[in-house]
Amino acid sequence: MALNHTQLKALKPKDKPYKVTDRDGLYVEVLPSGVMTWRFQYYLHGKREKVTFGRYPDIGLADARKMRDDAAAQVAIGQSPAKDKQAKKAERLAEAARAETFRMLADRWIAAEIAGRSESWQYTVKNWLDLDIYPAIGDKDTRTITTKDIDAILTKVVARGAMNSAAKIRTICVKVFQFGMDNDALTDNPAAKTKPVKTPEAESHRALSVKEIRPFLEALDAVGALTINKLAIRLLMLTLTRKDELRLAKWSEFDLDGGVWGIPAHRMKMRNPHRVYLSRQALEILEQLKPLSRGSEFVFPNNSTISKPIGHTTLNNVIDRLDIDGARFVPHGFRATASSILNEANFRHDVIERQLAHKEPNRVRAVYNQAEYAHERREMLQWWADYIDTLKSGSNISPIEARIRG
């Protein structure tokens, strides 16, 4: 008895693969994963063969039967549908892979992946490709690239101590080659055969204590780093933004006269636009940054080219060079520092969370808590900047004392 649409939709996976016959050699195979695949079984020259048509529901019942009829017509004249399909696939592989460099394949992968990806993801991936991957294998035919070639790239990155970057670079290479295989351009993934890079254990974003802020700022002033990068760290501390929200900032996002920085939704972790009310100190830093950005659209352009922002690890590297006691501190830790101090100073929790652009865990509360709190946020960020200045001057005043006196 032939299959119908209702029966197909009702098929469920079992512990083992099983077949459900339609008619004239056509059947659908149901795998434990739930994948359903159309196949056609036939006899040619006394031998049994089968050919795969594709997955259901991508290929519907009517289309599968049409493909079965076409294949049966080949069998009738002594041709093998299975061997014909293999020959056509080999031809596609040869055509797709012919003279395609890794750079060309990576460009196709990025174009396919870019939908729904953040601007931060795009810049970071392209930066690793440009700096570490392309110089080594960018212009090589993808068919000639070996596991040793990928290992050489990873070894070079690991040698400079960038373990996390090495792990990400390996992942990018694996995904690019897998994309080539999925699209019939390649038959092998040399990157997947490399040994995974062992990265440092994830560290919590530890907060600087009140007593650590002055030594941190003094160490930052003294360290031998580019002024633009040191100012980026100061601005990150004042605005309470995430690192990638700051490093990808463009001058077009700032209303310096109104003292507001509007970050577009696609750059925010929660995909909602966000406003930062700029303190007097933040505005002063932005004025200092204007000539340092060298005419770039980015507030913090890359040192080698103004068409790109600073790298993903640039600010981390500057902070790593500071002489700070205790566990390692990373840029994201500024947010924890500020949250702790602002809460101690008795600023309203909702105002702090709104400025940090945190997601409200309570859905009902989130619906009723869309207020901007613009005045309170502006006042809070100015107090925060003034309090940092007070600490840097040598005062040991506590947050709550400073709030009362202010």
CA distance 120 to 100: 27
Q: How wide is the angle at C-alpha 132 spanned by C-alphas 129 and 137, nearest 5°? A: 80
Q: Which residues are catalytic?
A: 242, 269, 332, 335, 358, 368
Residue 54, beta-bridge partner list: 38
Alpha helices in 240-277 (DSSP H): 243-247
Provide the angle, in degrees to the nearest 10, between the axes of the packed helices 227-239 and 374-392: 130
Per-residue buried b or exposed e for 2-33, using 16+ beta carbons within 10 Å of the residue's own CB: ebeeeebeeeeeeeeeeeeebeebbbbbbeee
Name the amino acid, one letter, at 185: A
CA distance 311 to 291: 20
Tokens of 70: 């076409």
Name the amino acid, one letter, at 21: T
